[in-house]
């Protein structure tokens, strides 16, 4: 099969998978049937074809090497997903159908997680949390364990020593170096984190940090006390206004469809579906109100603008594939408008409570950075050493970084395939560098300057041709630099 056929197949495969997921999550279709799409495109995921693309990559250089690497990464991802598709379906079905019994009531498994974050009574919250954990231990973990074993087997089938070696090759990321960088970040921020987190948990939950559990922190960051300021009915208007001030008008972007219709089975969380890039992008919203809801909406709008503004003449590898840290970085850039004091004062009337909102928001950000750094440390061990003893390794690693109790039973359900945690980490670092560049060029209120919008449009046009390290270099840095990220957190929490 020649490369043009492979590329056409990849384009159509991505389109069909994304459309299927969009229809299901938007509440327009009950059944999710991604497995059928994988079956139709199984010819793309054969070992022989993947080996051929891998050989092409080794023989090439420059742009051809980059395109071949992006193709190889996509095809290997697909091969691994194909190898576990039945187990994935079983896990998703179990999480959809299982119920949690607590206080004589049966609660759907997934709804139980939402209830936990909203439950103010600590004893009831703990009962919900533990009942949900029993389902994880007894029903879901046996499936996820076999799924993980099969992923590790599939990586070896593709000729790699282990799963980590595969992703280190095709992502072109040194996971060990990133893990060391995050360990140093954790060391530098530890006093700041422990002071603010300890105080917040004591005030909101009424226990010491070392006595707190995962459900306590979920409740803390739900931040219901700010719901009244982040009005449900104003969310979409706030997004439109934010983009318009940068000269980007959603009404003039017919390729970016906004779905705000309420449906019983629609996902309560905003999401972006890049069905045909850039011609058919959907921003799906069911506003609920609250700080977290606004942050989620703006994050997904960052994805939608990025994919919707890609140069349509770019090769499929650059429009659809590449380094997802790039699109996550652009998503974080818009999301963190909700953590910008000037933006908040201009758009969310909350008086001096803005300081409290920002303090909690930056603590949440610091928590996420430390959490994902710890997840990377754990996943490096998991994917290089295997599953034995990993429940305890997960518990110890997360507790050491975050200071509160974690159940070892979450060692597989709190995991994203393909070292996606590393892409979030690189995106956070890049976003801070990009925001610093915008402030230097257009001032602290860059988000109100159409020239900043033009600058972002020029970056978005390149899709994911360049990775975040290259983009950081284009901004004048030597590469990814923790400095701007660390400085922003210290400035707000220090």
- CATH number, domain with residue 320: 1.10.1370.30
Query: Residue 32 is encoded by which pair of tokens?
Result: 């999710």
Helices marked H in 205-287 — which ranges? 214-222, 235-245
Whether 406 and 313 map to the same domain: the answer is yes
Q: Which of 471, 373, 486, 467 is nearest to 422 (CA)?
A: 373
CA distances in angstroms from 301 to 4, 281, 330, listed in the order given: 32, 10, 9
Q: Which of 46, 187, 24 is nearest to 92 (CA)?
A: 24
- What is the DSSP secondary-structure string of 4-21? HHHHHHHHHHHHHHHHHH
Angle, in degrees to the nearest 10, between helices 324-335 and 420-442? 50
Whether 20 and 160 map to the same domain: the answer is yes
Query: Residue 224 is encoded by which pair of tokens?
Result: 């219901």
Whether 184 and 166 map to the same domain: the answer is no
Whether 260 and 121 map to the same domain: the answer is no
Whether 184 and 51 map to the same domain: the answer is no
**Domain of residue 430, residue span:** 175-493
Q: What share of the chain is helix, strand, coil (3-state, %, to 5)?
A: 70, 5, 25
Query: Residue 104 is encoded by which pair of tokens?
Result: 């004589």
Extended strands (E) in 35-148: 99-102, 105-108
Query: What global pTM score does this model have?
Result: 0.95
Query: At a CB cut-off of 8 Å and minimum separation 6, what does 320 contact?
Result: 10, 11, 14, 274, 277, 463, 464
Q: Which of 300, 320, 322 is nearest to 13 (CA)?
A: 320
Tokens 């923790």, residue located: 482
Q: Which of 242, 453, 225, 474 is nearest to 353 (CA)?
A: 225
pLDDT value of residue 494: 82
Q: Which one-letter DSSP state was computed for residue 486?
A: H
Query: Tens-digit pLDDT profile for the chain (494 aa)?
Result: 888 999 999 999 999 999 998 998 888 887 778 888 999 999 999 999 999 999 999 999 999 999 999 999 999 999 999 999 889 888 988 888 889 999 999 988 888 888 999 999 999 999 999 999 999 999 999 999 999 999 999 999 999 999 999 999 999 899 999 999 999 999 999 999 999 999 999 999 999 999 999 999 999 999 999 999 999 889 999 999 999 999 999 999 999 999 988 887 777 788 999 999 999 999 998 877 889 889 999 999 999 999 999 999 999 999 999 999 999 999 999 999 999 999 999 999 899 899 999 999 999 999 999 999 999 999 999 998 899 999 999 999 999 999 999 999 999 999 999 999 999 999 999 999 999 999 999 999 999 999 999 999 999 999 999 999 999 999 999 999 999 999 999 999 98
Chain centroid, CA 451 distance in Å: 28
Query: Do you find a cis peptide bond into 251, omega within 30 degrees of 0?
Result: no
Contact yes or no for 177/424 (Cβ under 8 A): no
Tokens 């001030």, residue located: 245
pLDDT value of residue 84: 93
Q: Which one-letter DSSP state was computed for residue 405?
A: B
Burial of 85 (0-12, 13-18, 19+ CB in 10 A): middle
Q: Which of 303, 151, 313 is nearest to 239 (CA)?
A: 303
- What is the DSSP secondary-structure string of 408-462? GGGTTTS--GGGHHHHHHHHHHHHHHHHHHHHHHH-TTGGG-HHHHHHHHHHHTT
Whether 148 and 181 map to the same domain: the answer is no
Whether 22 and 119 map to the same domain: the answer is no
Distance CA 426, CA 362 (A): 18
Distance CA 107, CA 302 (A): 34
Query: Residue 440 is encoded by which pair of tokens?
Result: 């230097």
Whether 185 and 61 map to the same domain: the answer is no
Whether 160 and 237 map to the same domain: the answer is no
Whether 447 and 302 map to the same domain: the answer is yes
Query: At a CB cut-off of 8 Å and minimum separation 6, what does 89 contact?
Result: 35
pLDDT value of residue 410: 98
CA angle 344, 228, 197 (to 5 degrees): 70
Domain count, the chain: 3
pLDDT value of residue 85: 87
Whether 147 and 253 map to the same domain: the answer is no
Helices marked H in 336-389 — which ranges? 341-347, 353-385
Whether 356 and 410 map to the same domain: the answer is yes
Distance CA 98, CA 95 (A): 6
Q: Which one-letter DSSP state was computed for residue 350?
A: -
CA distances in angstroms from 40 to 35, 81, 248, 344, listed in the order given: 9, 14, 38, 48
């Amino acid at each position: 099969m020649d490369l043009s056929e492979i590329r056409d197949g990849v384009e159509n495969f991505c389109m069909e998978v994304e459309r299927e997921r969009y229809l299901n999550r938007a509440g327009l279709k009950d059944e999710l049937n991604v497995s059928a799409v994988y079956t139709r495109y199984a010819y793309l995921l054969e070992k022989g074809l993947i080996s051929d693309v891998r050989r092409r990559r080794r023989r090439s250089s420059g742009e051809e090497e980059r395109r071949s690497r992006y193709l190889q990464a996509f095809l290997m991802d697909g091969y691994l997903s194909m190898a576990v598709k039945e187990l994935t379906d079983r896990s998703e079905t179990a999480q959809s159908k299982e119920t949690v019994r607590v206080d004589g009531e049966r609660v759907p498994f997934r709804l139980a997680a939402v209830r936990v974050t909203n439950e103010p009574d600590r004893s009831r919250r703990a009962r919900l949390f533990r009942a949900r954990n029993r389902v994880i231990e007894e029903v879901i973990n046996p499936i996820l364990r076999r799924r993980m074993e099969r992923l590790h087997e599939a990586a070896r089938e593709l000729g790699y020593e282990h799963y980590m070696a595969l992703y280190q090759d095709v992502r072109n990321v040194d996971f060990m170096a990133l893990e060391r960088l995050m360990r140093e970040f954790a060391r530098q921020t530890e006093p700041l984190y422990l002071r603010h987190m300890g105080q917040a948990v004591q005030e909101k939950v009424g226990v010491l940090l070392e006595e707190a559990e995962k459900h306590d922190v979920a409740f803390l960051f739900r931040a219901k006390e700010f719901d009244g300021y982040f009005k449900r009915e104003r969310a979409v208007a706030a997004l439109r206004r934010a983009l318009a001030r940068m000269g980007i008008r959603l009404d003039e972007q017919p390729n970016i469809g906004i779905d705000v219709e309420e449906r019983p089975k629609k996902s309560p969380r905003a999401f972006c579906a890049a069905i045909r890039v850039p011609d058919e992008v959907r921003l799906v919203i069911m506003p609920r109100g609250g700080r977290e809801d606004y942050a989620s909406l703006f994050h997904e709008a960052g994805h939608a603008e990025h994919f919707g503004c890609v140069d349509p003449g770019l090769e499929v590898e650059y429009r659809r594939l590449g380094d997802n840290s790039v699109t996550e970085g652009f998503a974080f850039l818009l999301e963190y408008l909700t953590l910008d004091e000037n933006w908040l004062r201009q758009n969310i009337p909350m008086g001096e409570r803005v300081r409290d909102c920002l303090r909690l928001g930056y603590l949440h950000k610091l928590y996420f950075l430390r959490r994902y750094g710890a997840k990377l440390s754990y996943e490096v061990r998991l994917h290089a050493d295997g599953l034995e003893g990993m429940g305890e390794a997960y518990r110890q690693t997360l507790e050491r970084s975050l200071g509160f109790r974690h159940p070892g039973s979450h060692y597989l359900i709190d995991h994203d395939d393909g070292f996606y945690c590393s892409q979030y980490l690189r995106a956070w670092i890049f976003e801070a560098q990009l925001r610093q560049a915008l402030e230097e060029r257009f001032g602290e209120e860059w988000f109100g300057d159409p020239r900043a919008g033009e600058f972002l449009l020029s970056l978005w046009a390149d899709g994911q041709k360049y990775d975040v390290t290259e983009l950081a270099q284009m901004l004048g840095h030597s590469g990814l630099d923790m400095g701007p990220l660390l400085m922003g957190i210290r400035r707000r929490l220090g």
